[in-house]
A and B are shown apart, each in its own frame.
Chain A
Amino acid sequence: GENVEQHPSTLSVQEGDSAVIKCTYSDSASNYFPWYKQELGKRPQLIIDIRSNVGEKKDQRIAVTLNKTAKHFSLHITETQPEDSAVYFCAARSSGTYKYIFGTGTRLKVLA
């Protein structure tokens, strides 16, 4: 079946450093790629998304890049802060459906 691989599963960075999380998808028909942040005990919340007709999108300290040829997309967080500590999930949606495949998550720890 279709899947989304996410790496790394855990990531520790010093406050102020950058963090990068990578995802690879298998379904060539995927055309929408959101990223969700889930703080401990809370519900997932969208932080950024990208559509397949765009290669890069940025929102303040957060950016997402997409390489459709390689079926690969990444989340970049710059100038990390302790409040960035959470679990991050990537996802891919197949064109024409509301079927989502999520990655297994990355636990990011920002060390003060």
Chain B
Amino acid sequence: EAQVTQNPRYLITVTGKKLTVTCSQNMNHEYMSWYRQDPGLGLRQIYYSMNVEVTDKGDVPEGYKVSRKEKRNFPLILESPSPNQTSLYFCASSMGMDNEAFFGQGTRLTVV
């Protein structure tokens, strides 16, 4: 089954404790992206990748890191999480720039 898989689905952590949210797609998609969703603010792009080893900043990259060492994986790293990073996070992938983006099931992160 074609899918984008994020892990974990839910995470509660403490301020400053490094964490990684994984994202994996099995559709051989070139393009991948991370978003955060907050009430009243919609979806905001954090980082995107147009190919292996090619990443670029989205609209709200501060406090986040990503890597794209292999085509299928695009982990999101929070080196020192803060409470303002409490949010619902989505990973997405697409075959091309103008193709449908398939979203993962989301990761709800709470930083206390």
Binding site for B on A (CB under 8 A): 1, 6, 32, 34, 43-46, 49, 51, 89, 91, 93, 97-105
Residues of B within 8 A of A (CB): 31, 33, 35, 40-45, 48-50, 56, 58-59, 90, 97-98, 100-101, 103-106
Report whether over half of chain A's contact residues are helix, strand or loop; otherwise say mixed. Answer: strand
Q: A44 — which chain B residues lie within 8 A by C-beta?
A: 43, 90, 103
> What are 16 sample pairs from A and B whose C-beta atoms fall under 8 A apart?
A1-B59, A43-B90, A43-B104, A97-B50, A98-B49, A98-B56, A99-B45, A99-B56, A100-B45, A100-B48, A102-B35, A102-B44, A102-B45, A104-B40, A104-B42, A105-B42
Chain B residues touching A, majority SS:
strand
The interface residues of chain A lying within 8 Å CB-to-CB of B101 are 34, 46
A97–B56 Cα distance when bound, in Å, is 9
Q: Are B42 and A89 closer than 8 Å at their CB atoms? A: yes
Q: With A34-B101, A43-B104, A105-B42 in contact, is A99–B90 under 8 Å at CB?
A: no
With A32-B98, A97-B56, A100-B58 as contacts: A43 and B42 at CB distance below 8 Å = no
CB within 8 Å: A-B pair count: 57
CA distance A97 to B105 in the complex (A): 24
B100 touches A99 (CB 8 A): no
Q: Which residues of chain A have C-beta atoms less than 8 A from B90's C-beta?
A: 43-44
Contact status of A101 and B45, CB under 8 A, knowing A43-B104, A43-B106, A44-B90 = yes
Q: Are B33 and A102 in contact (CB under 8 A)?
A: no
Residues of A within 8 A of B103 (CB): 43-45
Decide: A43 near B105, CB < 8 A? Known: A51-B98, A100-B45. Answer: yes
